[in-house]
Amino acid sequence: MSPRKPNNESSIYLGDDGWWHGRVTMGVLPDGSPDRRHRMARTEPAVRRKVRELEKLRDEGRATKAGRKPTVGRWMETYLTDIASLKLKPRSLDDYWSKTRNDIIPGVGRHRIDKLQPEHLEQMYRAMLDAGRAPSHVVKVHRILSRALKIAHRRRMIGENVATLVDPPSIDETEANPFTQEEATAFLEAAAKRPTFMRWIVGVGMGFRQGETLGLRWTYVDLQAELFHPQWQLQRLTWRHGCADPHACGARLHRFEPCPPGCTTHKGYKRGCPKPCTAKCVKHASICPNRKGGGLVFTRPKTKKSTNPVPIPAAFIPYLLAHKAQQEELREAAGELWQEHEAVFTRPDGRPIDPRDDWEEFKELLVEAGIDDRRLYDGSRHTAGTILNELGVDMPTIMEILRHTQISQTRRYVKGRSHLSKDAMRRMGETFMPPVSVILSRTGSNPTAAPAESAPTETRTETGDTRAARARRRRRIR
């Protein structure tokens, strides 16, 4: 009988170094050579156990691919550059890159992707919370990392997605704070003094998102059919380098030391001094001569539902016509300086309104109207949904107007009012309670009259014996 082992059978032997070694044939490498993997242990039973585990992964088709695995940082860069960029919207991709650079790579970027453990993620999340990050921010980081590891697991680069073994922090849903009808009226009265009045009418009265409102174009406004077609949205995207060496391109803006106390260079920055650059900083793409993909850009909405037409209230039509005529006058006054973008809401030179300027104007209008501070979303989209509900519009109709894909999402946008709850319970009581005359005929009393005063009564449950007497009686029984 031949001493040669059958094909694909593992071999176990004691080496000259005193260790037991096991070699398992897993398949074929990309170059055609056999994929033989090595395991070692101090004892024969231990190495046999490792060999059986590897053989099981091979037989079940769950074994990872051969070769040295990349670090988490390297894999995240590959995932965002080659995989996520094919599916994500530009704004979402910018957010993924930001959280990867600022949180994931500094936290766990140096770990090899196949050596990453759940406790590594838990320690990173704990450090982020201790540094003042909001739980919602940590949950977003967790989801981005989990998605990247899911792709790596699907491609058999790792045996398990460790992010699924970690519970991210719990987050409390931000409570909506929409305008009341009185506040909405006061806000629009303050906005009526500005040229951007119609922008706020559309935002508050129709529940459009900021990007959808600023991205409206006259081509997609049908005044005869009284319909808005929100096919585009305006967004500010982050510039990307188009050169071969991003680090050298932004050299003149690199700053590796933190700003001194009382820094005057960044005194106009609303978020304070920027963080120092990293040793291999590739930011500052705004000064790149070949920069691409940034600035104010018209982009498509995120979902197909968001492009559904929205009816324009008939009362808005005369104001929209007046707004269009006023814009024609601005175009003639600007002459050659006018930049045509077909936008409904523009600056004096025809350019779309910058979302940052729009946000600052919203805050100014809150002060002028005497309304406490709140989010732009609360003052527009949440307000429209809540007031529609107060006017008696059913939830499916509100969902169509706000263009949500699920009615559960619409319910989060609609906030109940206490005066409506009180009125509803009053009507509930009137429905179920019999008339007062029926109660009087049965009881002979007036339920609305004050009750007559009577002598106080007391109910006793204890016996008349003293505690000492009860103790003597127990001793006699014993």
Residue type, 25: T
pLDDT band at 124 (very low <50, low <70, confident <90, very high): very high
Per-residue pLDDT at 447 exceeds 60: no
Per-residue pLDDT at 437 exceeds 60: yes
Averaged pLDDT for residues 252-268: 85
Q: Over the chain, what is the mean pLDDT? A: 85
Angle between helices 197-206 and 383-390 (to 10 degrees): 60
Q: What is the pLDDT of residue 1?
A: 47
Lowest mean pLDDT among 301-305, 373-377, 410-414, 435-439: 435-439
Lowest mean pLDDT among 43-52, 171-180, 336-345, 374-383: 171-180
* pTM beyond cutoff 0.85: no
Per-residue pLDDT at 141 exceeds 90: yes
Averaged pLDDT for residues 263-281: 82
Averaged pLDDT for residues 163-180: 86
Beta strands in 286-395 (DSSP E): 295-299, 310-311
d(CA 255, CA 279) in angstroms, rounded, equals 10
Per-residue pLDDT at 335 exceeds 80: yes
Averaged pLDDT for residues 80-102: 90
Averaged pLDDT for residues 76-81: 93
Per-residue pLDDT at 459 exceeds 50: no
Strand order in the sheet with 34-41: 11-14, 20-28, 34-41
> Cα-flanking dihedrals φ and ψ of residue 255, to 5°?
-145, 110
Per-residue pLDDT at 399 exceeds 70: yes
d(CA 61, CA 226) in angstroms, rounded, equals 59
